[in-house]
Amino acid sequence: MVKPHVVILGAGPGGLGAAFQLVRRKQAQVTVLERSNAVGGNAGSFELAGMRVDYGSHRLHPACDAEVLRDIREMLNGDLLDMPRHGRIRLRGHWIHFPLKPLDLALKLPPSFAFGVVTDFIGKVLPLNSNGAGSETFSSILEKGLGRTICRDFYFPYARKLWGVEPEELSATQARRRVSADSLTKMVRKVLSAVPGFKPPGSGRFFYPRQGYGQISEAYYQAARQMGATFHLNANVVAVEVKGNGQSVVSYQQNGQTYSATADYIWSTIPITVLANLITPPPPSDYLLSAKAIDYRGMILIYLVLGEDQFTEYDAHYFPEKHIRISRLSEPKNYSASNEPRNRTVLCAELPCSPDDLEWKMSDEQLGILMSDALSSAGLPVKAQILQVASRRLRQAYPIYLQGYERHFNQLDNWLSGIDGLLTFGRQGLFAHDNTHHALYMAYAAVNCLNDEGHFDHEQWQRYRQIFETHVVED
């Protein structure tokens, strides 16, 4: 029996996980097309000043599916470290440990903040008034669950930074998919998890590869290649021609030449909005208008190479305050508890913005000044010599769930799902603000739906899609 040819678009975690599973199970011939010159996408790593750095702050969470975690452990061969969470959030000028710790909350929170939280909690237990019924939004869901104080001081300012819009403009779906502690009860449970005797397994910890987060993607890549998957890097897909009867042709450009690959199945992990505009023959204009109606938030990653062993002891800092332009700071050496190299460390600042914003066009020197000024404003001045400044730009960092986006996404999703042999999944492919372990779970799920005869079980895939809807982002 001739195995079906599966062409996978994108070599991020979703595409790599699918390629690995397909060839390991010997279910298909696999070709992967990746636009970049490296694998991993936003979950990749690269070398800077002799150190491995990531595209922002990344962790593999203990919530990872057991089969996926087992495979990663085996491929990394002892390089997957089990690390304690050790971050900080800046609230009203005070540093609070993240994940939350009871003693830290009691001793370091301003009295006015603590009073506000207690008042909000009493208001939930003994409601004195009731707001009128209305359509739910990101802001209404969180205020109802967490109270006004936590929302106004942390979640809402942070939301404005991440997505560039007011919380009232965001869909309620954003709250359900993005905020894991969406009620005071859940938040109290999270806080108690830091107390001995209350801590559930895996709480307050994360997994991290010794050679940077991208080591996970690189391990999948090497394993899939060794088992027969074909990869084309620097391959820019320019068209997906649907011929019917399950046969399609993917055209791509590489090194100035145009190539084509005939596929029995096309599994896409690239942004769903990009995929829609590659399909030929094109759909009615309404579908392409839906593709334009949903969008992603971009991000600039600013890296400072400093001439010192360590900047702080913390792996990550979170900055909800408006006057501090960056949203998060990470120090890669602290994620892997590495002491090498000596007299050198890297800081990575995350600056959410859009390609039409002024910051997008800034030089590395200008971005370095912006980052240094932001850290000074947060009481974290850079005192060591700055040896180098570098930057990376991510066009599709976060999906923006504006109110009403569901109608546009569903129309786009239904059209693409109706194309024989085409499957879209992963963080970008399903417009989902998910973690790496979610994308890998989706990849394994897709392979589970392809049987030994080469037929794809769409009913089983829809059951998996319902599971995907329950995914909540782990911070």
Q: What is the pLDDT of residues 428-448, one digit of tens each?
A: 999 998 999 999 999 999 999
Whether 134 shows a pLDDT value over 80: the answer reads no
Residue range 413-437: average pLDDT?
95
Split at pLDDT 50, 70, 90, the class of 194 is very low
190-209: burial string, b at 16+ Cβ within 10 Å, e else: ebebbeeeeeeeeebebbbb
Q: What are phi and psi of 209, to 5 degrees?
A: -75, 145
> What top-level class would CATH report for the domain 87-125+134-203?
mainly alpha
pLDDT at 34: 98
CA angle in degrees (0–180, nearest 5) for 109-111-115? 105
Q: Are 229 and 20 in contact (CB under 8 A)?
A: yes
204 or 232: which leads in pLDDT: 232
**Averaged pLDDT score across all residues of the chain:** 90
6-40 per-position pLDDT tens digit: 999 999 999 999 999 999 999 999 999 999 999 99
Whether 191 shows a pLDDT value over 60: the answer reads no
- How many Å is the maximal CA-CA distance in the chain? 71
Report domain extents, the chain. Answer: 5-44+60-82+210-294+402-468, 87-125+134-203, 296-398
CATH tag, 5-44+60-82+210-294+402-468 = 3.50.50.60
Measured CA to CA, the distance from residue 423 to residue 449 in angstroms comes to: 11
Whether 374 shows a pLDDT value over 50: the answer reads yes
Measured CA to CA, the distance from residue 266 to residue 246 in angstroms comes to: 9
DSSP code at position 270? S
Whether 292 shows a pLDDT value over 70: the answer reads yes
Measured CA to CA, the distance from residue 448 to residue 456 in angstroms comes to: 9
Q: What number of other Cβ atoms are within 10 A of residue 363's Cβ?
A: 10
For residue 57, give the nearest of 326, 344, 341 by alpha carbon.
Answer: 326
| Amino acid letter, 408 | H
Strands 279-280, 296-306: pairing is: unpaired
pTM higher than 0.85, yes or no?
yes
182 or 426: which leads in pLDDT: 426
For residue 306, give the nearest of 375, 376, 362, 383 by alpha carbon.
Answer: 383
Q: What number of other Cβ atoms are within 10 A of residue 51's Cβ?
A: 19
Whether 405 shows a pLDDT value over 50: the answer reads yes
Q: What are phi and psi of 9, to 5 degrees?
A: -100, 115
Measured CA to CA, the distance from residue 389 to residue 371 in angstroms comes to: 10
Show the beta-strand stretches assigned E in 122-162.
none
| 296-398 topology per CATH | Polyamine Oxidase; Chain A, domain 2 (3.90.660)
Q: What number of other Cβ atoms are within 10 A of residue 159's Cβ?
A: 24
Name the least confident of 153-157, 225-229, 383-387, 437-441: 153-157
Whether 260 shows a pLDDT value over 90: the answer reads yes
Measured CA to CA, the distance from residue 400 to residue 390 in angstroms comes to: 27
Show the beta-strand stretches assigned E in 87-164.
87-91, 94-98
Residue range 202-228: average pLDDT?
94
Residue range 53-61: average pLDDT?
96
Measured CA to CA, the distance from residue 81 to residue 60 in angstroms comes to: 10
Q: Are 79 and 305 in contact (CB under 8 A)?
A: no
448 or 201: which leads in pLDDT: 448
Measured CA to CA, the distance from residue 243 to residue 284 in angstroms comes to: 17
For residue 274, give the nearest of 360, 396, 439, 162 by alpha carbon.
Answer: 396
Residue range 183-199: average pLDDT?
50
Sheet holding 230-232, edge to edge: 230-232, 29-33, 5-9, 265-268, 422-424
Whether 239 shows a pLDDT value over 80: the answer reads yes
pLDDT at 355: 95
Tokens 């979703």 -> residue: 14
Whether 335 shows a pLDDT value over 80: the answer reads yes
Measured CA to CA, the distance from residue 238 to residue 277 in angstroms comes to: 9
Split at pLDDT 50, 70, 90, the class of 198 is very low
Split at pLDDT 50, 70, 90, the class of 367 is very high
Cα–Cα distances (Å) from 142 to 86, 173, 233, 234, 444, in that order, read 25, 11, 42, 42, 33
Long-range contacts of 190-198 (CB under 8 A, 24+ apart): 190/99, 190/100, 191/100, 191/101, 191/102, 191/105, 192/102, 193/99, 194/99, 194/100, 194/101, 194/102, 195/102
Residue range 349-372: average pLDDT?
97
Measured CA to CA, the distance from residue 336 to residue 216 in angstroms comes to: 14
Residue range 203-229: average pLDDT?
95
Any bridge partners for residue 261, and if so which?
A: 250
Split at pLDDT 50, 70, 90, the class of 55 is very high
Long-range contacts of 110-118 (CB under 8 A, 24+ apart): 113/149, 113/153, 116/147, 116/148, 116/149, 117/147, 117/149, 117/150, 117/184
Q: Evaluate the omega torsion of the peptide bond into residue 281 and state whether it is cis, within 30 degrees of 0.
A: yes
Q: What angle do the packed helices 184-192 and 138-146 form, to 10 degrees?
A: 60
